[in-house]
Chain A
Amino acid sequence: MQQLEALTREAQGLAMGRGPLTGDEAEVARQMQICNACRYCEGYCAVFPAMARRLEFGKTDIHYLANLCHNCGDCLHACQYGPDHEFKVNVPQAMAQVRLHTYTEFAWPRAFGGLYQRNGLAVALATAAGLALFLILSMVMAGTQMGQPLAGNFYAIFPHNVLAWMFGIVFAYAALALGIGVSRFWREESPGAATGEATAEAVHNALTLKYLDGGHGKGCNEESDAFTLARRRFHHFTFYGFMLCFAATSVATLYHYLFHWEAPYAFTSLPVILGSLGGLGLLIGPAGLLWLNLNRHPRHGDAAQKPMDRGFIALLLATSLTGFALLLWRDSGAMGLLLAVHLGIVMALFLTMPYGKFAHGIFRSAALLKWSIERRQPSRLRLGAD
Chain B
Amino acid sequence: MDDSQLDVIVIGGGNAALCAALMAREAGASVLLLEAAPEEWRGGNSQHTRNLRAMHDAPEDVLTEAYPEEEFWQDLLKVTGGITNEHLARLAIRESSRCRPWMHKHGVHFQPSLSGTLHLSSTNAFFMGGGRALVNAYFRSAQELGVKVRYNAPVDTIEVENGRFVAVRVGNERIAAKACVVASGGFESDIAWQREAWGQNERGEWPADNFLIRGTRYNLGLPLKSLMKAGADTIGDPTQAHCVAIDARAPLYDGGICTRVDCVSLGIMVNREAERFYDEGEDFWPKRYALWGRLVALQPGQIGYCIIDAKAVGRFMPPVFPGIKTNTLEELAREMGLDEQKFMATVNAFNAACKVGTFDHQVQDDCHTEGITPPKTHWARPIDTAPFFGYALRPGITFTYLGLKINDHAAVHFNGQPSPNLFAAGEVMAGNVLGKGYTAGVGMTIGTAFGRIAGTRAAASTGHIHEAIHAAA
Contact = CB atoms under 8 A, between A and B. Distances in A.
Contact of A42 (B114, B132, B266): B114
Contact of A55 (B254, B263, B318, B361): B318
Interface in B281-335: 284-286, 310-311, 313-320, 322
Contacts of A215: 109, 111, 128
A4 B360 CA distance: 13
Nearest to B133: A78
| Majority SS at the chain A contact face | loop
A253 interface: no
A80 B320 contact: no
A43 B129 contact: yes
Given A4-B314, A77-B133, A37 B115 contact: no
Interface residues of A, number: 43
B66 interface: no
Interface in A27-73: 33-34, 36-44, 49, 52, 55
A328 interface: no
A318 B112 CA distance: 45
Contacts of B266: 384
B172 to A, nearest CB: 28
Contacts of A82: 40
Contacts of B472: none
Nearest to A36: B318
Interface in A66-120: 74-75, 77-82, 84-86
Contacts of A382: 314-315, 361
Interface residues of B, number: 52
Interface stretch (B26-34, B116-124, B396-404, B428-436): B116-124
A385 interface: yes
Nearest to B115: A52
Given A77-B133, A79-B132, A80-B130, A383 B115 contact: yes
Contacts of A381: 314-315
B258 A81 contact: yes
Given A80-B132, A385-B118, A216 B109 contact: yes
A172 interface: no
B41 interface: yes
B114 A39 contact: yes
A225 B138 CA distance: 11
A385 B286 contact: yes
A98 to B, nearest CB: 20
Given A9-B310, A385-B262, A386-B116, A80 B315 contact: no
B320 A34 contact: yes
Contact of B313 (A8, A80, A84, A218): A8
A306 interface: no
A260 B51 CA distance: 67
B111 A43 contact: yes
Given A75-B129, A382-B314, A40 B50 contact: yes
Nearest to B319: A37
B37 to A, nearest CB: 11
A380 interface: yes
A42 B320 contact: no
B129 A40 contact: yes
A5 interface: yes
A1 interface: yes
A37 B133 contact: no
A269 B120 CA distance: 61
Nearest to B139: A225
A226 interface: yes
Nearest to A75: B129
A215 B260 CA distance: 27
Contacts of A43: 109, 111-112, 126, 128-129
B64 interface: no
Contacts of B129: 40-41, 43-44, 74-75, 77-78
Interface string A368-386: 0000000000001111111
A77 B251 CA distance: 21
Interface centre among B114, B251, B260, B286 (most CB of A within 10 A): B114
A-B pairs, 9 with minimum CB distance: A40-B130, A78-B129, A43-B111, A37-B258, A8-B314, A37-B320, A78-B133, A216-B109, A383-B116
6 contacts: A43-B129, A44-B129, A49-B115, A55-B314, A82-B40, A384-B361
